[in-house]
Structure 1
């Protein structure tokens, strides 16, 4: 069966939460089936209703931990359901209310709407987000019955920046950075306008909301440095032209992203998309305020950047250029290391350079201080006074003498001391870390423009969260029949190798038409009962009652024959999966 385990964060959140009873109020049968499937598989009790009146009745008579409410339902909207429940003096315990809507910005524009809901989730639903929200709310206690209080940002409303008059829609940080808006994502916003922040890391929550990391960051504080896309703190006069050019550039490049990447919750995909949309490489800079001594030109922790970028380099989507080599503390992993010359014997840094003398008569050599007795030079070995330079002695060079233990040596040892935890390390033993600049490769650009199909099936894993909702429901039914009766089925996954060249030469509409005609012909020529479903980067065909062995030998030739009938060859690559392959 498909991988029905979404990303780790969402799965752990759902399983560790205390929520046991969930109400889903949604008039779409596909979304009903999807939510019931993924939530019941995780041990949650799920009730489904189709309109607002049924939802209100269910909340009044049943004890739910969380209610997922479609904002625009028949009979009564989600907002009306919550308001009527909260106004009822005989109401029972108040569940957590989560709004589901395709018009996030419209919902958030009214504070009256926002105060009724604990979270807002945008359609189409992201399964990992659903599980994460349910897990988080399941661990929290519902508030006492009654209207939820408005939670204003600390410090109250800011004085309005003239930049807000340029004509774009701004997410004003931190005043608009409540959980509802961050969960809802970037829909309805053109840029992030930062009124208060101390470091770029303060804006890291932008990476948790869908698409918020792809908005330009305009800094009014002057403290974000390279973490912002535009520092407007010290700019006088009219900045409208610069802001317009910045926001329009981001918007144009964001629109060119393939939907697979633009909607992805994978941190690697988010990082690739950010590099592309910003129009700049991922550039490191030395930053003494950071324990790791390095920051990047975005609002994401450098440790996260380094881990994600390293994986992308391994996949060939990013190239790494050497920037610097840092020494790292073995105890606390800080890169703020003090390098110093030390005594090879006691490791003290209190060493001084001094001349050493060579007594010709007895051949003794040592620091001048060993010879010095008042104003005279007396050999410590033979006790003869040295009177004449060049005849009795000479000064062939210098040596280092430790003022702590008296040890003398020609060369010092090199040591490190961590400025954060004080751990001392010998130079030969201290660990190092290489820092790199990262830039998109040709494959990285191709992936951003063409989506998962560009990588081919070899790099893709068939994941539950990537499949169309209709296919998830149908596939789950086939799997149940297979487990109960042994009835075979086959799933075909279709990628299109030639999507990019066709779209570049003839336009995206021409490729879409070619793809649509290919799937129509494929559905007609497969055995009866085949269900063809269009997806994002891939299309799918589900063949109930037909095992993969009956399909594998002929599907490749069938695809070629169909392609030969089309004006353009989509380069269809068809992969065959059976029940055991998907188990």
Structure 2
């Protein structure tokens, strides 16, 4: 982009300006009399990209190094007409999702000004790096232009699934894992600090055809806490101790004894533990055909140690042949979802017929019926029930008992919901359909209904709710 290159050349700051920025920044309580050259140079970049001075909200701190200059380069506002969120402390990024939800800021970029790497940010900005000014201006401009192409139905998304799809559309980027060593998963998704939640939503969307998967990496996960931080080690097959050491094997020709060298050693001499003869000449009396592993704990010897895993988060040990595999994917918008997000016309299916095959047959018919209607009559919200205790109950009680508990929960829930919503069951889980319902209005009610439906069960299923789709996406009043 020629204009970006030209603006970068014009905004190169001299070393003296950088030094001045570091040494003469005024205190926050002093009048800002003379504007620093950096401010004007950065503002010229905004103009090159046909941007107003970006209106921003700080998260979480408003006092940061050189914050006086940040308030000149950006415009801090309290309204909802915001161009970007400035992340000032990457260690508190876990609360960013709640902050953006409260302010309806999921469709503007997050600009990292903390000075440290952050996986949740869309771009990094530094007063000392002119290149970052150009990158930030380009990012804000891209988000602005793509928001203008987004269907008005999705400008204030409330359902997690819709938020993710709308964000991917306006960012113009795929949902790509970023390596994150301090995370128990070893990765995080750009723009979404909660890896577990983002993965669950993305997988649900991919299962319905709204997102397309691409393989990224494969990890082994802990059966106890699901962490991917596992230490891989060779272990003794007898006692599973990793305290193994290599030892030379000695083969005594005359009696065919084959043992570790330590079994032959008597001071400086080699005495056969089987026939008590002294071994004097290598190659004539004996040889050393290889090495063996000796366990310091149980003294067992083996030529083939086994592989084991030790979780660094909960300490659980897992045998190599019993470790579970966790595949990690990147996700991109499908052609169908791109068409839906960019089209304001009523002729666009709210729930594509091609995706109905994943749902129970009766639910397919109902959604097809709703999709054929127009206006408010076609509005519906679809939620999916997940069971946190599924794996544990399958191990302890078996599949038949688990299915029986699910059926009882579904019956109880339908009785509680009455005509408000309908419960449908597939082989794996339950779905709840609400016709003409705003997702923001029933979440608390449904959680209470789930808790009440589970309260009479002999075994807890720990049901949680994932909103897959809401066609009445409106801002919270």
Report the aligned-residue RMSD. Answer: 3.5
Which residue pairs with 1:20 in the alignment?
A: none
Return 414-423 or 436-445, whichever deviates more.
Answer: 436-445
Which residue pairs with 1:295 in the alignment?
A: 188
- The answer on whether the counterparts of 1:210 and 1:265 sit within 8 Å (CA) in structure 2 is no
- The change in CA–CA distance for 1:470 and 1:226 in structure 2 (over 3 A counts) is closer
- The answer on whether the counterparts of 1:446 and 1:454 sit within 8 Å (CA) in structure 2 is no
* Number of residue pairs the alignment of both structures matches: 309
Which residue pairs with 1:215 in the alignment?
A: 108
| 1:343 matched to 2:236 | yes
- The answer on whether the counterparts of 1:200 and 1:298 sit within 8 Å (CA) in structure 2 is no
Distance 2:334 2:378 in 1: 35
Which residue pairs with 1:402 in the alignment?
A: 295
| 1:172 matched to 2:58 | yes
> CA offset at residue 302 of structure 1?
0.8
Which residue pairs with 2:162 in the alignment?
A: 269
Which residue pairs with 1:574 in the alignment?
A: none
> CA offset at residue 197 of structure 1?
3.8
Distance 2:96 2:137 in 1: 22
> CA offset at residue 234 of structure 1?
6.5
Larger RCO, structure (CA 8 Å, separation 6 or more): 2
Of 216, 239, 258, which aligns to 1:365?
Answer: 258
| 1:248 matched to 2:141 | yes
Gaps of 5+ in 2: 1-27, 33-37, 47-52, 63-77, 357-366, 381-477
- After TM superposition, list the pairs within 5 Å mapping 1:167-566 onto structure 2: 167-174=53-60, 187-209=80-102, 211-233=104-126, 235-237=128-130, 240-450=133-343, 453-455=348-350, 458=353, 459=356, 460=367, 462=370, 468=376
- The answer on whether the counterparts of 1:195 and 1:221 sit within 8 Å (CA) in structure 2 is yes
- The answer on whether the counterparts of 2:307 and 2:319 sit within 8 Å (CA) in structure 1 is yes
- The change in CA–CA distance for 1:230 and 1:162 in structure 2 (over 3 A counts) is farther
- The change in CA–CA distance for 1:320 and 1:235 in structure 2 (over 3 A counts) is farther
Question: Partner of 2:245: helix, strand, or coil?
Answer: strand
Gaps of 5+ in 1: 1-155, 177-184, 473-583
> CA offset at residue 175 of structure 1?
5.4
Distance 1:406 1:157 in 2: 72
The one-character-per-residue Cα deviations of 1:445-475 (angstroms, maximum 9, x if unpaired) are: 2222236824556454749xx9649999xxx
Distance 1:382 1:250 in 2: 83
- The answer on whether the counterparts of 2:124 and 2:132 sit within 8 Å (CA) in structure 1 is no
- The answer on whether the counterparts of 2:125 and 2:136 sit within 8 Å (CA) in structure 1 is no
- The answer on whether the counterparts of 2:87 and 2:121 sit within 8 Å (CA) in structure 1 is no
- The change in CA–CA distance for 1:158 and 1:219 in structure 2 (over 3 A counts) is farther
> CA offset at residue 237 of structure 1?
4.2
Distance 1:386 1:470 in 2: 91
- The answer on whether the counterparts of 1:220 and 1:232 sit within 8 Å (CA) in structure 2 is yes
Question: Partner of 1:189: helix, strand, or coil?
Answer: coil
- The answer on whether the counterparts of 2:309 and 2:320 sit within 8 Å (CA) in structure 1 is yes
Question: Partner of 1:309: helix, strand, or coil?
Answer: helix
- The change in CA–CA distance for 1:456 and 1:337 in structure 2 (over 3 A counts) is closer
- The answer on whether the counterparts of 1:340 and 1:349 sit within 8 Å (CA) in structure 2 is yes
Distance 2:99 2:58 in 1: 12
- The change in CA–CA distance for 1:277 and 1:326 in structure 2 (over 3 A counts) is same
TM-score, normalising length from structure 2? Answer: 0.58
